[in-house]
Amino acid sequence: MKTVVRSPGSATVINAISTGYGSAFGIKLYVTAEVELKSSKIKCTADKDVDTTLMKLCVSKVLEKFKLETGVLVKTSSNLPVASGLSSSSATSNAVVLATTQAVIDVYNIKSDVNNFEILNIAIDSSLEAGVTITGAFDDASASFFGGLTITDNINRKILKKQKMKEQKILIYMPNKYFPTAESDVRRMKLIAPHVKLAFDEALEGNINEALTLNGLLYCAALRFDPNIALDAVDAGAIACGLSGTGPSFVAIVDERNTDRVEDAWSSYPGKIIHTEVDNEGTKVLRSG
């Protein structure tokens, strides 16, 4: 009996590291987790060469929640790039925690009152303990879990605003390098806090495109990424463009008629371009019981 859960990545509107307040939205790149309860120990595998520590922590915390001792077999597959600023860790923890929780409920016939926020908090606690995030990434994790746009107080783990995003095309530029969030220069990111606060206020006012672009340019300066990547996309007709997370990926919101122009603008940069869309569904159970 396998439980299958799919969880989307997310793109940054406001990176929360400098101020503790953030915003993100779901994108249609996914981590899928298959969970099966077994009599043996916890065993985790992935289709990519990734450290499975986070997956094991997710499973252990769910079993601890239900006061259970059982073997669990977890397998993840993904088309979401790792260490790219697209919330691969949040998507993984959301998928594994929900899949394990659902599997336990089904196999043990438990009438559970576990709600979405409890699942989300277990996932975030696992990410923090695994050391794959600096703030807990409540903005990324909530956008991945619920889909659409979330604006958040990461320090107190509160969603300040949540809404569906317009079904828009997303272009992602990925340089030929990885940049794990936990290795980012926090001190430099704190220097731009007053200016990121202005971008966050724009997001709260509903000016998401302006907030995304401003945030992206600010974090480019702090983390020494090339801001021309974002500016070239905007010049080519992107509605908004900025650095996602702590990079290295750049995310552009585009309309159909300017997609090719933005892609052409990025063609001179080494790396690859991914076509995707906004995800408004969030983390969902694909198979259960």
How many domains in the chain? 2
pLDDT of residue 184: 74
* Statement to judge: residues 71 and 141 lie in one domain: yes
- The answer to whether the CB of 20 falls within 8 A of the CB of 155 is yes
Alpha-carbon distance of 123 to 5, in angstroms, equals 14
CATH number (domain holding residue 133)? 3.30.230.10
pLDDT of residue 286: 97
pLDDT of residue 183: 61
CATH number (domain holding residue 174)? 3.30.70.890
* Statement to judge: residues 72 and 39 lie in one domain: yes
* Statement to judge: residues 148 and 176 lie in one domain: no
* Statement to judge: residues 30 and 160 lie in one domain: yes
Alpha-carbon distance of 152 to 141, in angstroms, equals 10
pLDDT along the chain (289 residues), means of 10: 96 97 98 92 88 94 94 96 92 97 94 90 94 84 98 97 96 84 80 98 98 97 95 98 95 96 97 98 94
pLDDT of residue 181: 60
Range of the domain at 88: 3-164+279-287
pLDDT of residue 182: 57
Residue 277, phi then psi, degrees to nearest 5: -145, 170
In the chain, DSSP assigns E strands to 3-14, 21-38, 43-46, 71-78, 149-153, 158-163, 169-174, 240-243, 250-254, 272-277, 284-287
Alpha-carbon distance of 184 to 127, in angstroms, equals 16
